[in-house]
A and B are shown apart, each in its own frame.
Chain A
Amino acid sequence: MTTPDKETMLNWYRQMVLIRRFEEKCAELYTTGDIGGFLHLYIGQEAIAVAAQSIFRADDNIITAYRDHGVALARGIPTKTVMAEMLGKATGVSKGKGGSMHLADIDRRFWGGWAIVGGHLPLAAGIALADQYSGADRITVAFMGDGSTNIGYFHEALNLAAVWKLPVIWVVENNQYGMGTAVTRASAVSDIVKKAEAYGMPCCQQVLDGADIFEIREQFEMAEAYVRDGEGSYMMEILTYRFRGHSMGDPERYRQQEEVEKKKTEADPIIRLGNYLLEKKLVTQEELDAQAQSAEEEVAEAIEFAKKSPFPAPEELYANVYV
């Protein structure tokens, strides 16, 4: 793997901070009632989406579950249209009809934002099937939480993908809790990646550190080479941690605050990358601060845009039920 240049790494840093600040503001806008419904924050998991974006091609397919803001922003969907969707505005990326859990951008081959646990996994298989069928060399990257690996969809989708050698990288973002139930209480094997063996599917040899963007990128690159060559699917497991609750209404009775605070100091991907860049003397603190400042301004502009945007017109209610 070639060592990225300083500008590239600074850009990763900026993207992660952008996601973090975006979601912190979303949490505020949720408490003020500007954002409704459910709100599942990605805070703590940012390195995964940014690492993926740094490896995969713009015409590759990305699909994820309902914790989708980070993946959407990393994919390059304009921050203002994502924020507008959060506020249910007509200018939102899904025209205000999807909301937080249903972001998508067909032009960027970001296929959503799906909110039934595991339901998007066979969709990923089908998206990959269409590319295999038509001879395109695109690959599909399917993100999922640890909780989705216990549902039937997961097993049916991975089995089908293995039987048909579909070009999918199955990426488990193991944030250690499916809602409030710890992996060890919900999954018969706590090394989730071992589930790949049931389908004869190659996988990463060890669980990856979700706070280490370099480690994740390296594994993505290996997986990409395998899948792009038409060998079939590949599975990865990344151990990560969400610093916030499952969703905004989570009382968090299932974990101790000390555990959360420990993770925030030891496993924050933004701090980790910032420290690396400083220790290697590749950047100065001022340069990092400038990136963070720029990201904050982008979020502020997005909020302004979203707040000024109109709500969907009444006639939108019946639009797009059918083609």
Chain B
Amino acid sequence: MSTSNQVITYRQAVSDALWEEMERDEKIFIMGEEVGVWGGTYAVTKGFIDQFGEKRVRDTPIAEMAIVGAAVGAAMNGLRPVAEIMTINFAFLALDALVNHAAKAHYMFGGQFKVPLVVRTTTGGGRQLGATHSHAPEPIFAHFPGLYVICPSTPYDAKGLLKAAIRDDNPVLFVEHSTLYQTRGAVPDSDYTVPIGVSDVKREGSDVTLVSYSKMVQISLEAADLLAKEGVSAEVVDLRCLRPLDMKPVIESLKKTNRVVVVEENWPRFGVGAEVAMQIMEQAFDWLDAPVKRVSQEDVPLPYSRDLEQSALPNPAKVVAAVKAIL
């Protein structure tokens, strides 16, 4: 197997994963708003309709209930749909189809049906899109047993996890971050997958553990650089998947650092930090030398005005301050 790498963008990584999987299996098809002629509103599926045709690259009406619902039905009846919800803000419209149908069809009928479905979507604030178009509500979707929620932070993880998601027989919400598409990283030339539900240490350290996912990994790594300059060694754990949630690397890291800060883009209430902190209480309470802290989005709808919006989002300085508060 080839071991050579190439440096590509997160966008290219997602696009390559889709392309290669579609070449591999005729049962895989794409459906969603503007995925075809337009090429995807984030240009992920550019050129796909020319290569794979309208049968396999299907533009849909702006109708999220139908997009996800029909994708569930197609998956139950033997296909492997990759449905796209343009942004996670619109996934609320498809919430019923995701949680009542995609996530429960296997269980509720005693295992008779499988739903090998991937719903791709984008998340994240910080682009002056206002309150309705700037959500990062991944924990809502991670609440439901039966669904997987994947939130990759790097091109390598995005490609490997998307391939794994497409090959898995369970329904997956695959959440790409809209401000990560231009970021670059090394990706193997050869076919590979990243296992679903395995957290990953993105940077080793000994004084504090930063737990994050998606864009917040980048924020955490920048914070770790700042902390290093002040002589504080931060370890960064990337959850990669919110469900299944792999806490093992978090607990192992905590046993080394005895301090944890969760960096999450969601709002603080009932979020990733709340869940991670609770699991730490259950599994490793005695290893803590300080309370678990969280750096979240401020508990307000995101405003439009640029500086005001930025002030509501997690940033490296906020992470540094949170770390210093528990050192």
Please give the residue numbers on chain A whose beta carbons come within 8 Å of chain B beta carbons, in ascending order.
61, 92-98, 102, 104-106, 111-114, 116, 119, 121-131, 133-134, 152-153, 156-157, 159-160, 163-164, 319-323
8 Å CB contact of B72 from A95, A105, A123, A152: A123
Known contacts A106-B113, A116-B96; A153/B69 CB under 8 A: yes
8 Å CB contact of A160 from B61, B72, B112: B61
Nearest-Cβ distance from residue A307 to partner chain B, whole angstroms = 19
Known contacts A152-B65, A321-B107, A321-B145; A105/B112 CB under 8 A: yes
Question: Contact between B110 and A114 (Cβ–Cβ < 8 Å)?
Answer: no
Question: Contact between A320 and B106 (Cβ–Cβ < 8 Å)?
Answer: yes
By a CB distance below 8 angstroms, the chain B residues around A125 are: 66, 69-70, 73
Closest residue of chain A to B62 (Cβ to Cβ) is A156
Known contacts A122-B66, A156-B63; A104/B72 CB under 8 A: no
By a CB distance below 8 angstroms, the chain A residues around B75 are: 126
Provide the bound-state CA to CA distance between A148 and B75, in Å: 23
- Could you show 27 A-B contacts with beta carbons less than 8 Å apart? A94-B109, A95-B111, A98-B108, A98-B109, A102-B109, A104-B113, A111-B76, A111-B77, A113-B109, A123-B70, A126-B71, A126-B73, A126-B76, A127-B74, A129-B74, A130-B73, A130-B77, A130-B79, A157-B66, A157-B69, A160-B60, A319-B111, A321-B145, A322-B148, A323-B106, A323-B114, A323-B169
B283 CB–A CB distance under 8 Å: no
Provide the bound-state CA to CA distance between A134 and B105, in Å: 22
Question: Contact between B106 and A321 (Cβ–Cβ < 8 Å)?
Answer: yes
By a CB distance below 8 angstroms, the chain B residues around A153 are: 65-66, 69
Nearest-Cβ distance from residue A78 to partner chain B, whole angstroms = 15
Total number of residue pairs linking A and B with CB closer than 8 Å? 135
B55 CB–A CB distance under 8 Å: yes
8 Å CB contact of B70 from A93, A102, A111, A122: A122
Nearest-Cβ distance from residue B163 to partner chain A, whole angstroms = 17
Provide the bound-state CA to CA distance between A3 and B105, in Å: 40
Nearest-Cβ distance from residue A165 to partner chain B, whole angstroms = 12
Question: Contact between A126 and B107 (Cβ–Cβ < 8 Å)?
Answer: no
B160 CB–A CB distance under 8 Å: no
Closest residue of chain B to A151 (Cβ to Cβ) is B65
Question: Contact between B101 and A321 (Cβ–Cβ < 8 Å)?
Answer: no
By a CB distance below 8 angstroms, the chain B residues around A164 are: 58
By a CB distance below 8 angstroms, the chain A residues around B65 are: 122, 152-153, 156-157
Provide the bound-state CA to CA distance between A281 and B65, in Å: 52
Nearest-Cβ distance from residue B71 to partner chain A, whole angstroms = 6
Provide the bound-state CA to CA distance between A119 and B29, in Å: 22
By a CB distance below 8 angstroms, the chain B residues around A96 are: 110
Closest residue of chain B to A101 (Cβ to Cβ) is B108
Nearest-Cβ distance from residue B92 to partner chain A, whole angstroms = 13
Known contacts A112-B109, A114-B101, A122-B97; A156/B73 CB under 8 A: no
By a CB distance below 8 angstroms, the chain A residues around B96 are: 116, 119
Closest residue of chain B to A63 (Cβ to Cβ) is B73
8 Å CB contact of A119 from B71, B97, B108, B169: B97
